[in-house]
Chain A
Amino acid sequence: SQTIHQWPATLVQPVGSPLSLECTVEGTSNPNLYWYRQAAGRGLQLLFYSVGIGQISSEVPQNLSASRPQDRQFILSSKKLLLSDSGFYLCAWSENLQVNEQFFGPGTRLTVL
């Protein structure tokens, strides 16, 4: 069966510090991978989408970047965090057709102080 892992579960970082959130998927090959953010009082916003190694699509201009160094590894990064980067970050995967349902990880709660 497939599983998706995210870490860390919670993170408190000062403004201006770097960020690295990691997501890995097990039990499937060549998944579509997604990074979402839920800011306070808002719905899920798609940040990045990847269909393969090294292929990243960015949905919104922001202070964040994503990388996919391996087939089942998706990393969300920032060089300098802003207060507005606080939120709940979810990684998700789906089978190769975009229409397929997405499976979400447990999420990371990021607080930028």
Chain B
Amino acid sequence: ILNVEQSPQSLHVQEGDSTNFTCSFPSSNFYALHWYRWETAKSPEALFVMTLNGDEKKKGRISATLNTKEGYSYLYIKGSQPEDSATYLCAFLPYGQNFVFGPGTRLSVLP
């Protein structure tokens, strides 16, 4: 059974703070990594699809990096806003297999 971990489990930050969290996955047989944002009462929405070691993706104030050799990805949020409050999920896709989701990091941004 593949293990995908995310840390921290939850965090609270003040509006304007920058924050980051981690997704750890097996370093062998890597094919892709996805990041999703899941807001309360909504469906998960894709943020990034990452496939190459060293990938850096950016969407507005949110960015992500990928290290497939050591098996981790970081998600960064710059200048957090209350609307960033959500659970952030990573999903690891090994070659020839199906997605394994991490448990998520629950972010609360306090105004």
Q: How large is the interface on A (under 10, 10 to 19, 20 to 34, 35 or more residues)?
A: 20 to 34
The complex places the Cα of A52 from the Cα of B16 at a distance, in Å, of 46
The complex places the Cα of A90 from the Cα of B102 at a distance, in Å, of 16
B-contacting residues of A (Cβ < 8 Å)? 34, 36, 42-46, 49, 57, 59, 90, 98-107
Point out the residues of chain A lying under 8 angstroms from B102, CB to CB. Answer: 43
Point out the residues of chain B lying under 8 angstroms from A57, CB to CB. Answer: 98
Question: In the bound complex, do residue B101 and residue A45 qualify as a contact, i.e. CB atoms below 8 Å apart?
Answer: yes
Number of interface residues of B (CB under 8 A): 20
Which single residue of chain A is at the shortest CB-CB distance from B31? A99
Provide 16 A-B residue pairs closer than 8 Å at the C-beta atoms, listed in order of the A residue.
A43-B89, A43-B101, A43-B102, A44-B91, A46-B98, A49-B98, A59-B98, A99-B31, A99-B51, A100-B49, A101-B49, A102-B36, A102-B44, A102-B99, A103-B46, A104-B43
The complex places the Cα of A45 from the Cα of B36 at a distance, in Å, of 14
Point out the residues of chain B lying under 8 angstroms from A105, CB to CB. Answer: 43
Point out the residues of chain B lying under 8 angstroms from A98, CB to CB. Answer: 93, 98
